[in-house]
């Protein structure tokens, strides 16, 4: 995944909460308050801010996988890190180990719409949420197999997120297709906390939404909302 921060304005221009997060929540029935892809607002060193959408970084050297006592979280041959909620014992050491704050725990009965309960559970989709286990962004492997771009890529109104295959060296934001390695090199892409050697598969291109006309001194974004009007019976809500 390549996220072009030059094109991310935290959805200020559309006047809505971040649409990548909203699409992800809709698609995965992600319970409140889980923003599997969360748009952080980081300070720029010379003043002003930038928006940083952060999904699971899908590390090639994933600290969470290393510490899991039961192999419930694991790397797939394609390179994504998934969680088997039928095996997870809920010890939460992966959450202690993740340096990106990208893991979420089902503290209670997840607040999801009743239809989420009808889904057949699959490791690649994580629906329905299971109480007492950990969840996170799964890079939509089921969507990839169906030749569809992930929810967040589809949801972005500014086409800031590219999704692709490192081996085939190709990535797409839904509008254009780029040669991934060339695109990364020519735009001085970087990864978060590179010094930790976790080797994320999520790359960023530095920026503050300038390509879509955002002023770095216009701060703030709208808070994410969960759309379900009706929730499963006995659902709990909690904060992160």
Partner 1 sequence: MEEVRTWRERLERTALAPVTKTSRGYYVWVAFLLAVIGWGAYAYSRQLRDGLIVTGMRDRISWGLYITTFVFFIGISHAGTLISAILRVSHARWRTPITRMAEFITVVALVCGAIFVIIDLGRPDRVLNVIRYGRWQSPIIWDVLAITTYLTASIAYLFLPMIPDLALFRDRLAGRVSGWRIWLYDLLSVRWQGTRAQWRSIGAAITTAMILIIPIAVSVHTVVSWIFAMTLREPWNSTIFGAFFVAGAIFSGVATLIIVMAVLRKVYHLEEYITEKHFVYLGYLLAALALIMMYGNISEYLTTGYKLEEGAEFHFRQLFLEQFAGFYWFYFIGGLVVPGLLILLPWTRNIWGVVLASVLVVAAMWIERYFIVVSGFRVPLMPYEPSTYAPTWVELSVMAAGFALFALLITLFVKVFPIIAIWEVAEDQESVEVAPAARRFAPGATPEPAEGGGR
Tell me whether residue 123 or residue 144 sits nearer to partner 1 (CB atom).
123
Say what the alpha-carbon torsion angle 211, 59, 172, 17 is, to the nearest 10 degrees. Answer: -50
- Summarize the chain as % helix, strand, coil (round to 5): 20, 15, 60
- Of 201-240, binders to partner 1 (CB under 8 A) are 236, 238-240
CB 240 within 8 A of CB 223: no
Tell me whether residue 34 or residue 171 sits nearer to partner 1 (CB atom).
34
Binding mask 154-193 for partner 1 (x = CB under 8 A): ----------------------------------------
Establish if 123 lies at the interface with partner 1 (CB under 8 A): no
Binding mask 5-44 for partner 1 (x = CB under 8 A): -----------------------------------xxxx-
Residue among 213, 155, 126, 179 nearest 19 (CA): 155
Measured between alpha carbons, how far is residue 128 from residues 16, 166, 228 in Å?
27, 30, 15
Residues forming contacts to partner 1 in the complex (CB under 8 A) are: 40-43, 52, 54, 63, 66-72, 87-93, 95-101, 103-109, 131-134, 196, 198, 236, 238-240
């Amino acid at each position: 995944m390549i996220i072009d921060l030059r094109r991310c304005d935290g959805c200020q221009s559309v006047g809505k909460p971040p649409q990548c997060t909203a699409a992800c929540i809709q698609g995965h029935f992600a319970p409140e308050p889980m923003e599997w892809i969360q748009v952080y607002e980081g300070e720029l060193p010379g003043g002003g801010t930038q928006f940083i959408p952060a999904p699971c970084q899908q590390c090639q050297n994933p600290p969470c996988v290393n510490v899991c006592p039961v192999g419930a979280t694991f790397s797939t041959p394609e390179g994504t890190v998934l969680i088997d909620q039928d095996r997870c014992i809920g010890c939460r050491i992966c959450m202690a180990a993740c340096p990106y704050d990208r893991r979420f725990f089902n503290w209670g009965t997840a607040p999801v719409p009743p239809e989420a309960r009808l889904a057949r559970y699959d490791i690649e989709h994580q629906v329905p949420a299971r109480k007492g286990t950990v969840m996170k962004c799964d890079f939509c492997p089921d969507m990839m197999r169906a030749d569809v771009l992930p929810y967040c890529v589809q949801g972005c109104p500014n086409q800031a997120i590219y999704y692709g295959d490192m081996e085939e060296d190709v990535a797409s934001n839904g509008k254009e297709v780029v040669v991934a390695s060339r695109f990364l090199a020519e735009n001085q892409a970087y990864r978060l906390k590179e010094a930790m050697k976790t080797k994320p598969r999520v790359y960023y291109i530095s920026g503050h939404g300038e390509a879509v006309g955002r002023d770095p001194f216009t701060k703030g974004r709208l808070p994410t909302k969960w759309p379900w009007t009706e929730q499963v019976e006995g659902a709990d809500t909690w904060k992160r």
